[in-house]
């Protein structure tokens, strides 16, 4: 999962891009990058690390320009080398820089086509593939240095016809303006914002989540529609067009479960409100199926599940307690690139408050169970803190299948629920009882706030992929690419590209 942002402004945008990326940091902690355009000059800084680590004062001073894009990344496929950090740049036509959130399911096929078109791909990133596809289509639409909105939209339409998978994209075209578009299924989110300037004029911004717009003083206009393209010229003129022939809105439901911040709105829906309703739905199921259990207290596993657990406690008429203290300087564990690192980080990330566990039957609540590593470790911590019995509730259904649209759930062998029933999962994580949310209830929790959302991307629960192009051969290929050892090897192989990609302007 990644976070993207782009601003077409009337004043320097470097600080606003930086601030927006810090708000989107939860979407990726592996690398960060900003590119600004100063006249005909592209200014770039990207490197591995958190936003605050990548951008020092000297870098910010060099990121001159009134238009720019930014990206925070964690590795889905390929390595976590700085060579993979975004935004990417290609010099023809015009000079284009691009940042992408998602994952292409036909990247290998597109690479072969690009070789025929005499375009070179320098990394294993599908985002670089997407950039070159867009650049090639723009090149086909233009004969000179002039670029009309109709040509931009024709290029995006051609991209939609060639590219499959999930992609929310922001790009800046030197000398022309900023472009943003979303895949025809709208799998990954993208919001459009606007700000009126004190000195006159209008500035526009796009970002993965609405909270990034709010953080820098932009007002949310709306979500970019599935298949739609937004083009803002250097003069601040806004053009929009639906560029997909048959858009079908099927956004990723896992955004609401885990990834998005609670203060964001995605597709007109409050993430906070969805999580509260998830708790109401799950609380009702617990009341039906566990009425005989003697539960003393409900304790969330911070932080995503706090709002969910509070509603469960209210529904069950039980005390709600914060039983874990979170170390906020440790990153998300299932985003971490290695299984060993994930296991080691859990106890550094959380510490139990013994008085909330000692002698009690506790119900632990988490947003989901992916590999089961975190759940198992936390249940052990609860028992070590003196809990008599430990029950576990997941606000999401069983995650049984890999995600191919930008979430790092690569292999069925890593997913604890794959091929297992609830009782077996319960035994493996060491709980005294385990309950999962129903998929229908999860979908209803989102649809309740926007009935227009009829379908969702739920492949991690069902194994049904909305792009209709995912087979076992593809899953095997992705498993090989995302293997922890392969990622480490590619990091070492890409070391010679690091200086080039840091691009300190």
- Mark whether 2 is an active-site residue: yes
pLDDT per position as a tens digit, 147-159: 999 999 999 999 9
Distance CA 134, CA 114 (A): 11
* Tokens coding 478: 């992705």
Give the residue among 245, 230, 85, 105 at the shortest CA–CA distance from 171.
Answer: 230
Q: What is the pLDDT of residue 83?
A: 85
Distance CA 384, CA 346 (A): 15
Q: What is the pLDDT of residue 156?
A: 98
SS (H, E, C) 409-458: CCCHHHCCCCCCCHHHHHHHHCCCEEEECCHHHHHHHHHCCCCCCCEEEC
Does residue 374 have a pLDDT over 60?
Answer: yes
Counting residues of the chain whose pLDDT is more than 90, the rounded percentage is 82
Does the pTM surpass 0.85? The reply is yes
Q: Please, are residues 96 and 139 in contact by the beta-carbon 8 Å criterion?
A: no
| Mean per-residue pLDDT, 389-417 | 91
Distance CA 362, CA 320 (A): 10
- Name the CA dihedral angle for 445, 448, 450, 456, rounded to a multiple of 10 degrees: 40
Q: What is the pLDDT of residue 482?
A: 63
CA distances from 95 to 42, 117, 145 (A): 9, 17, 11
SS (H, E, C) 104-137: ECCHHHHHHHHHHCCCCCCCCCHHHHHHHHHHHH
Average pLDDT, rounded, for the chain:
91
pLDDT per position as a tens digit, 84-138: 999 999 999 999 999 999 999 999 999 999 999 999 999 999 999 999 999 999 9
| Mean per-residue pLDDT, 211-240 | 97
Termini Cα distance of the chain = 27
Distance CA 7, CA 14 (A): 9
CA 375 to chain CA centroid, Å, is 22
Q: Which residues contact 83 (CB under 8 A, 6 or more apart)?
A: 122, 123, 494, 497, 498, 500, 501
Distance CA 182, CA 495 (A): 32
Q: Which residues contact 444 (CB under 8 A, 6 or more apart)?
A: 281
Does residue 27 have a pLDDT over 90?
Answer: yes
| Mean per-residue pLDDT, 31-47 | 96
Q: What is the pLDDT of residue 345?
A: 67
Q: Please, are residues 220 and 210 in contact by the beta-carbon 8 Å criterion?
A: yes
Helix (H) or strand (E) holding 492: helix 484-493
Name the DSSP class of 175.
T
* Tokens coding 474: 């593809």
Distance CA 138, CA 119 (A): 13
Counting residues of the chain whose pLDDT is more than 70, the rounded percentage is 90
| Mean per-residue pLDDT, 343-353 | 80
Q: What is the pLDDT of residue 500?
A: 37
pLDDT per position as a tens digit, 475-500: 888 777 765 544 554 444 444 444 33
Which one has a higher pLDDT value, 319 or 477?
319
Distance CA 437, CA 422 (A): 12
Does residue 251 have a pLDDT over 90?
Answer: yes
Neighbours of 198 (CB within 10 A): 8
Which one has a higher pLDDT value, 497 or 146?
146
Active-site hit among 2, 243, 306, 491: 2
| Mean per-residue pLDDT, 178-183 | 98
pLDDT per position as a tens digit, 405-418: 998 775 888 899 99
Name the DSSP class of 266.
E
Q: Please, are residues 206 and 191 in contact by the beta-carbon 8 Å criterion?
A: yes
Name the DSSP class of 293.
-
- At residue 502 the predicted structure's pLDDT band, cuts being 50, 70 and 90, is very low
For helices 271-289 and 306-316, what crossing angle results, to 10°? 40
Does residue 397 have a pLDDT over 70?
Answer: yes
Distance CA 447, CA 442 (A): 9
């Amino acid at each position: 999962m990644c976070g993207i942002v782009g601003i077409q402004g009337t004043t320097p945008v470097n600080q606003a891009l930086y601030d927006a990326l810090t708000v989107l940091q939860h979407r990726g902690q592996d690398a960060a990058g900003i590119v600004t355009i100063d006249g005909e000059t592209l200014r770039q800084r990207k490197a591995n690390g958190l936003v605050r680590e990548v951008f020092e004062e000297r870098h910010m001073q060099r990121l001159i320009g009134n238009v720019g894009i930014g990206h925070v990344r964690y590795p889905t496929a390929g390595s976590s080398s700085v060579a993979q950090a975004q935004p990417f740049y290609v010099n023809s036509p015009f000079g284009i820089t691009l940042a992408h959130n998602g994952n292409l399911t036909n990247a290998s096929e597109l690479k072969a086509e690009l070789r025929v078109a005499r375009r070179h791909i320098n990394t294993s990133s599908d985002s670089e593939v997407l950039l070159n596809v867009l650049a090639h289509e723009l090149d086909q639409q233009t004969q000179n240095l002039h670029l009309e909105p109709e040509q931009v939209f024709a290029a995006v339409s051609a991209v939609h016809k060639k590219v499959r998978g999930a992609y929310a994209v922001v790009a800046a075209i030197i000398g022309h303006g900023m472009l943003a578009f979303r895949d025809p299924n709208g799998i990954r989110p993208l919001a459009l914002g606007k700000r009126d300037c004190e000195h006159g004029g209008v500035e526009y911004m796009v970002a993965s989540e609405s909270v990034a717009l709010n953080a820098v003083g932009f007002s949310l206009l709306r979500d970019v529609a599935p298949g739609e393209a937004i083009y803002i010229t250097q003069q601040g003129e806004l053009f929009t067009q639906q560029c997909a022939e048959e858009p079908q809105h099927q956004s990723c439901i896992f955004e609401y479960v885990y990834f998005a911040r609670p203060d964001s709105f995605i597709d007109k829906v409050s993430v906070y409100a969805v999580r509260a309703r998830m708790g109401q739905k799950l609380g009702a199921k617990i009341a039906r199926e566990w009425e005989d259990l003697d539960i003393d207290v409900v304790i969330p596993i911070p932080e995503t599940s706090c709002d969910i657990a509070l509603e469960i406690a209210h529904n069950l008429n039980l005390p709600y307690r914060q039983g874990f203290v979170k170390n906020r300087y440790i990153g998300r564990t299932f985003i971490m690139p290695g299984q060993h690192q994930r296991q080691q980080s859990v106890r550094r990330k959380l510490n139990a408050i013994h008085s909330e566990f000692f002698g009690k039957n506790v119900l632990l609540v988490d947003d989901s169970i992916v590999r089961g590593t975190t759940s198992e470790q936390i249940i052990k911590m609860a028992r070590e803190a003196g809990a008599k019995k430990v029950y576990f509730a997941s606000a999401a259904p069983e995650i049984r299948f890999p995600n191919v649209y930008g979430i790092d759930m690569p292999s069925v062998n890593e997913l604890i629920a794959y091929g297992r029933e609830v009782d077996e999962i319960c035994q493996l994580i060491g709980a005294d009882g385990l309950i999962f949310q129903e998929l229908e209830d999860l979908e209803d929790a989102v649809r309740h706030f926007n009935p227009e959302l009829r379908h969702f991307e739920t492949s991690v629960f069902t194994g049904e992929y909305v792009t209709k192009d995912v087979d076992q051969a593809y899953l095997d290929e992705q498993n090989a690419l995302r293997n922890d050892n392969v990622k480490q090897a590619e990091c070492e192989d890409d070391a010679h590209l690091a200086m080039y990609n840091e691009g300190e302007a």
